[in-house]
Amino acid sequence: MLRKFYIIILAFWLILLLPSLAQEKLKDNKAISNAIDNKQYTIADSLLKQNIVQFIAARRYDTLLYYIPLKGKLVYKQRGAEKAIAAVYSFIDVIKSYDSSSKLICTAYQDAAEFFGKIGQNQEGYNAIKIALGYAMKVAGNNNIVIADCEYNMGVYAQRLANVSLSGIHHRKALQLRQASKAPPEAIYQSNNAIASCYWYASNYDSATYFYKKAFEVVNGMPDSLSIKKYRLGLIENNIASVYSMQGNSSDAINTQQRSIAYYQQFIAKDEDHPKKYAATAAL
């Protein structure tokens, strides 16, 4: 009976400890990043190892994902991109040894890809997302949204690599899956906008206009309370105006540009701070 009591008490304290571990993680992550920025690599490495050991002991394996970019950043600053890429993949292997669930490892490779993109390694970013896609396909239940996110991100990296055709293939797959799964409007908007951009770069202006208009419809259907709504409508109209201009359709280009400016002005006039206000002002 006494043993059972101690087990209950231990479980209670572990529950109380989890939020504090999460708060400590945020604080230590900043400390690690600052140490790296200040070239205090020994300190950064020590803090990184301490945190990893701590969360492994607490069986908070999902929290280890937060250390993927920090691990990469630490090695990148000291030894360059090639070694950083190897270190990131090696760290993911460590995570796998504790928790090999498909969804967690899928996220790990997506986080790795984001880091690779930040250091200019877009091909490796594409490769990492391709690995993530393999795990996404193994996620139990309705995994269409997870697969769609991978396809979308592969489209992003393919476009960065100037492979517009491949980018379009991935983005169309993502849109199809997102529509079939009734994904949130935000995701549908992103896919339509990405496909439109692919067609624009490929000089397929009619298709670009079609998908920009689809993106506009999705955003226009979002709640007016969404602070960024008017900015996005202005941005899309600006893109459509640019397409019309490329086609030599001056009249439609001018009219559409005027609507774009009106949306930007409405966004700027809102009595709230937003990081996109500077971009909207610059677009006028």
- Mapped onto helix, strand or coil, the DSSP state of residue 99 is coil
Q: What is the tens place of the pLDDT at every residue in 204-241? A: 999 999 999 999 999 999 998 888 899 999 999 999 99
Looking at residue 225, its pLDDT comes to 82
Owner of token pair 């995994």? 143
Q: Report d(CA 80, CA 157) in Å as an integer.
A: 21
Looking at residue 214, its pLDDT comes to 98
Q: What is the mean pLDDT of residues 157-175?
A: 97
Work out the mean pLDDT of the chain and round it to a whole number.
Answer: 88
Q: What is the tens place of the pLDDT at every residue in 20-56? A: 444 455 557 889 999 999 999 999 999 999 999 999 9
Determine whether 277 is exposed, middle or buried from the number of CB atoms within 10 Å of its CB (0-12, 13-18, 19+): middle
- Mapped onto helix, strand or coil, the DSSP state of residue 124 is helix
Residue 9 reports pLDDT greater than 80: no
Q: Report d(CA 268, CA 280) in Å as an integer.
A: 7
Q: What is the mean pLDDT of residues 178-199?
A: 96
C-beta separation of 213 from 221 below 8 A: no
| Residue 27 to residues 41, 47, 205, 254, Cα–Cα distance (Å) | 17, 11, 48, 50
Looking at residue 18, its pLDDT comes to 39
Residue 14 reports pLDDT greater than 60: no
The pLDDT-based confidence of 4 (bands split at 50, 70, 90) is very low
- Angle (CA) 102-183-262 rounded to 5° is 135
Q: Report d(CA 40, CA 253) in Å as an integer.
A: 54
Owner of token pair 């280890």? 64
Indicate the pTM of the whole model.
0.85
Say how far residue 155 (Cα) sits from the centre of its chain. Answer: 12
Q: Which residues contact 39 (CB under 8 A, 6 or more apart)?
A: 77
Looking at residue 17, its pLDDT comes to 39
